[in-house]
Structure 1
Amino acid sequence: MKFSKSLKVGLIMAICAYIPVNASAWGMLGHRIVGQVAETYLNSKSRKAVKNILGDETLAMTANWPDFIKSDTSYNYLSSWHYVNLPANLDRQGVVDFLNREKTPNVYNKIQEMISILKNKQSNADQKKLALRLLVHMVGDLHQPMHTARKEDLGGNKVYVTWFGQKSNLHSVWDSGLVDYQQLSYTEYATVINHPTKAQLKSWRATSLADNVFESYQLVDKIYAKTRAEDKLSYRYNFDFVDHLNEQLLKGGVRLANILNEIYG
């Protein structure tokens, strides 16, 4: 089938417009890093429970399943589960109040629902597998700061920038641009960053899910303050944010393991 030149241009523009809005948190590599880190903090009961549910599939490998199944329209109902849009200028209590009011399915309330399914002894094997796959992914999502960003710019998807000379957007830079720039495999990356202090582990494990949202939300403010539409981002941006990036990935893994350890005792 042949297409006219104008139709080809229209199709390309439509595809390009679609991709940023539906970008996946952390991208494939970031989600696997979170899963790989989490594996190292599972206790024996959690490790056995995860094995019973996933078989030989590791947390790192299951982490991207909720993005892979976007090709199946029967899972379209999951689209809003990857993020929670928050208004600007909220303090911690404002964020908590918003989260408690918001009834639209989102990463905050659906993480809680997946935890409930995994805790419920009446849940069948298929329900548990779906819940665990979604939980692993969504905890990663929650620690990608642009998934707690603003509705008006679609979590940074409409903040167009260049990343090392290539057209991109703020959301995509945080999904994959920064992570990929480090030039590490997910196992190498997890090994490099997985050196928290005892104080950090204690602090991160003591936080609530709402605290985790607020932390990401605070980082969003720093990102917006240093990033404007049409900015040309490259070495300096990586220098300014790589420590924040690594901490978010590490926190995500530690907290995912903590959730699973609390579920399975």
Structure 2
Amino acid sequence: MEERLQKLIAAAGISSRRHAEEMIAAGEVTVNGKLVTEPGTKADPERDHIKVRGRLINSLIQEREKIYILLNKPRGYLTSLADPEGRPLVAELVPHTLGRLHPVGRLDFNTEGLLLMTNDGDFTNFITSARNRVAKVYEVKVKGVPPEPAIERLRRGIKLEDGVRTAPAEVKKVEESETNSWFEVILHEGRNQQIRRMFDAIGHSVTKLRRVRIGFLYDERLAPKQWRRLMPAEVARFMRGTQKGKPPAKKKSSAKTPLQAKKRPSSKEMSRGAGNSGRRG
């Protein structure tokens, strides 16, 4: 059956669909020996010989096991598969025996927290597409105490320095001191360094940023640099799209949010943590 090349490349575990489109446009893909540069081109892996950077990928499409990883990314790691500057990569935190796994979305270099990795392009597209409204929840520490009108601007959507306006976001103040504030921010989109740029736009820079939940997924048992496989039921729950990024139903008396479920570090502890720092967050 014919399918779009970017989907087939993602199915082979070579890259996400978006990156596959870039490889096609860059002239790195051939079908039956002919160069293809149009991302919308279709091919049939049962009939056509598909090569990426000279490597035949037909067998990868047929035989690949789909793998889904939840990683607790520490600060100081790049959410990428390669870096010309030689900085540490998240790919180095999972065993090479799992094969080539690409990050689902991104967390910037100085952001920590939960990051999904997979070789399933369809899964990546579902999680990262804004229309599916898979919530990403962050703990944010900022300098100073932003006034409520400024926070309301973030909730409504704010114009960033490049002229792009963000989608509405959920922003809740959790704690404040004389010099810092802590917020819980929930996004359904993932622009580059979005949360840092949002708070910069109101004059309060982010000093610490951690992603604590993706959709219904949060796992406080994962220490930084640790990872676990997703259970089949977790993958199926995402792909059914029934939750649309909403957290599990709460019981009025006992259920807790990720921020409530653990003891919040003191202002002093978080300031010390920020001092040791070096997404799309």
Shared fold (TM-score, shorter chain, > 0.5): no
Larger-gyration structure (1/2): 2
Q: TM-score range by the shorter chain?
A: under 0.3
Higher RCO (CA-CA < 8 Å; seq separation 6+): 1
TM-score using structure 1 length: 0.27
TM-score using structure 2 length: 0.26
Which structure has greater helix proportion?
1
Which structure has greater strand proportion?
2
